[in-house]
Each structure stands twice: as structure tokens, then as C-alpha cells.
Amino acid sequence: MMKFRVADMTCGHCASLITRAILQLQDDAKVEADLVNATVSVYSTLSAEEIADAIKDAGYSATSQKANCCNPSNSCHT
């Protein structure tokens, strides 16, 4: 999973545009937009750069974040 901070994603319409932009690159990608935290999580074989570019091409900012499983305190590191 790749996670992106999209600070200017403020509504469902924004989330829909971002989701569509990613799905245009890979139609079986799983995209989860979290409006409260202004993040987009993507399960995909696309590179982080490709996804960030798609978000930016849709008119939004995109900053890559590490996914939760990368946190040492998470169960995948025990």
C-alpha cells in the first residue's frame, strides 16, 4: 500500500476526481480516500511516482507518506 497526503482534497468531488485519475492508469487499483485526514491510500502495482503524478495531473498536491505497516510499532515487525 502507498499512502499520499493530499492537503487540498476537501470534499467528495475531489476524492472522486483523484480516484478516477488513478483508476485511469490501473483499473483494478484499490483507492481509499480519507477526507478527514486528507490522505489517499492506494493498493496498486503502479509506482509511487506514477500515482503522485496522476493526483497532480488531476489538479491536487500529493506528498508520499510511509504506509502504516512500515511503523516499527506495528504487528508486522514483531
Cell of 63: 506528498
Number of neighbouring beta carbons within 10 Å of residue 41: 16
CA distance 17 to 60: 9
Domain count, the chain: 1
Q: Which of 36, 26, 34 is nearest to 3 (CA)?
A: 34
- The reported pLDDT for the residue numbered 67 is 55
* CATH number of the domain where residue 46 is located: 3.30.70.100
pLDDT in tens, 24-41: 999 999 999 999 999 999
CA distance 27 to 47: 15
Residues of the chain predicted below pLDDT 70: 67-78
The domain containing residue 31 runs over which residues? 2-77
pTM here?
Answer: 0.82
